[in-house]
Amino acid sequence: MKELVLGGARSGKSQFAEDQARATGKQLIYIATGGAGDDEMAQRIALHQRSRGDQWTLIEEPVKLAEAISSVDCKDKAIVIDCLTLWLTNCLMQDVFEEEKNAFLEVLPTLNSDIFIVSNEVGSGIVPLGALSRQFVDQSGWLHQSLAKICDRVNLIVAGLPLNLKGA
């Protein structure tokens, strides 16, 4: 089972994905794509880690997502990937997004684990100023569309509440 969990900042999407993964009763793997570039981000990461507890195996991978997820894939595991838009940013900054996106989209349907993919829905606002910002919004939207086709379920989280867009 593959599930895409979309939402805005502080919408509750990570908590929702974690709860969904816990409900499977499987071994829990957490693939974190963000890095602590400053003190505030380090505090956010620490808060996320404390709230998850020690039942999760943590893998930190900012770019090579397809490799990271493939390396732990097993039918007895539930994997949360958090957050796809941070991964997108990392890949854009290293100019490897097309290659890494294609690898991820190619491997995802072949995986046996239950996968919960957390991502920010950023396309509901105005068209941003600046080429890199527009590229980020465009690539994010296209990536979400591709994932929605592959995933069994898609949920949009608003104010901590899920709105089911695909699947039961």
Catalytic residues, which ones? 48
**Euclidean distance between CA atoms 167 and 48, whole angstroms:** 28
Other CB atoms within 10 A of residue 45 CB: 15
Sheet strands (E) in 23-96: 27-32, 56-60, 77-82
For residue 40, the surrounding DSSP H or E stretch is helix 39-52
Q: What is the dihedral of CA 87, 31, 159, 21, to 10 degrees?
A: 150
Nearest CA-CA partner of 1 in 100, 108, 102: 108
First to last CA, the chain: 11
Alpha-carbon span 91 to 32, nearest angstrom: 14
Q: What count of other Cβ atoms lies within 10 Å of the Cβ of residue 123?
A: 14
